[in-house]
Every structure is written in C-alpha cells, then in structure tokens.
Amino acid sequence: MIRSIVILLILAAWGGGLFGVVTVGKETRRKVYLAYAKDRIVGSFKSLATGQADFRANDRDGNGVQDFWVGDVAGLYYMTDPKGNPLRLISLNMAGLDGAPLADGVAAGRYRRPTLEPFCEYRVRVMTHYIDDDGTLKPYAQSTGGKPDLGPFHNHSRFAFCLYPANSVSSRNPTYILGEGNTMFKKHTAGQPVLVWPSDADLGTSWSRMD
C-alpha cells in the first residue's frame, strides 16, 4: 500500500499532476524520490547477508578457506575471482553506497573499484568490531590463512554491516545493522554509523528487532 502511494506521488511529480489535479514542485519531487530510494535501499539491505553466504559457501575469492569478506562492502561486487571476473554478489547500487571502501589494488591486486556517485542519502559500512561473549572487544577483519594471501580482510564465522543516514537532513531516519544471524535491528543514532556490534544486552534494550 505504501509503495503504491509512493509510486503515485512519483508519477505526479514527473507527470505534472495526478489525474489533472495535483501539481508537485521540484523540492517535493526530490523528497519523494529520496524517500523512495531510501525505502528501496533499506528493503535490499539484507541482500548483503545473501552475498556473504554465497562468498563463504562457494569460496568465491578462491583462497581455499570458507570465510566471509569483511574488508568493506564494495568488495562483494568488485573483488575478482581467480579468473579475474568481478564477484558481483551484491547490486552495483549497494556497492556504490559504501561509506569506507578499501583502496584500489588491495587484496593482492584483486580489488578494482571505480569511483561511484551514490544515488541515495544512506551509506553502508562494514562494522569493524564486536563484543565477544566474555565482554572482549574483537575485530572482524583478520587473516584466515588462505592461499593466495588476500590480506586481513576475512573472518571465518562473523560479519556485520551498518546502514546509516549520511547527512543532517536524513539523520532523523534510523540506522540499521545486520549480522551473520541475518536479523536486522534499527535505532536512531543521529546519522552516526555504528561500527561495533552491540552486546546481547544492548541489543535487547537499545535496538528494535526487525523480523
């Protein structure tokens, strides 16, 4: 229902009117489009978990180890397989929203990323650390002993992503996080990315689970 309303507004925005009655200005058109883009991005956020599952189960980087890619987000699209083909495990749009991509040429030269212009006022990042069961802060990124050595950008069993509003206008929107359990949580963070996966206690009291 909400999507139908948004589509009607978009048609009104670009068509000059809805059934000859509604007229929408340039600024309203922009807001409607950004709202629609945000809805699409949040809806496709879970595709990152699907891409990670494929990466690990099928050893897409060919390093001989079942591990996840935790170097950045864009690598799930631009990293190349042993034959030199881009992995393309996520959409190009999602790869373009990476707020902290790795430098071109890392991972033994297998990472080739052009500069993209993000189309949405959201950004997405890999989360850098998590709180272990004993309360210890631990990094996601590590070397898993693969051959060839593609750098400390993998993890045997964990990954996490953060989707966050990227400017002061959109900062009223919530921030979303997603981990290897494929469950999404949201919380208002005033537009600040969350880079440490919360403890179970914090998840239960400060974050809203999205089923």
In this structure, are 118 and 198 located in the same domain?
yes
User: Rounded distance, CA 81 to CA 91, Å?
Assistant: 17
Give me the number of domains the chain comprises.
2
pLDDT over 90 percentage in the chain: 58
Shared domain check, 18 and 103? no
- Point out the least confidently predicted range of 38-47, 74-83, 182-191: 38-47
Q: Is the pLDDT of residue 20 over 50?
A: no
pLDDT in tens, 55-69: 999 999 999 999 999
Mean pLDDT of 15-35: 45
The answer to whether the CB of 107 falls within 8 A of the CB of 128 is: no
Task: Let me know whether 107 and 193 are in one domain.
Answer: yes
Please tell me whether residues 179 and 93 are part of one structural domain. Answer: yes
User: What is the domain extent for residue 55?
Assistant: 45-210
Domain final residue, candidates 44, 61, 76: 44
Q: What is the mean pLDDT of residues 148-157?
A: 95
Q: How far is CA 202 from CA 131, 147, 187, 189, 206, in A?
A: 10, 38, 11, 14, 6
CB 60, CB 89: distance < 8 Å: yes
Q: What 3-state DSSP class applies to 145? A: coil
Q: Under 8 Å CB-to-CB from 185, ≥6 apart: which residues?
A: 176, 177, 178, 203, 207, 208, 209, 210
Give 166-200 pLDDT, tens digit per residue.
876 667 889 999 999 999 999 999 989 999 999 99
* Co-location of 13 and 23 in the same domain: yes
pTM above 0.75, yes or no: yes
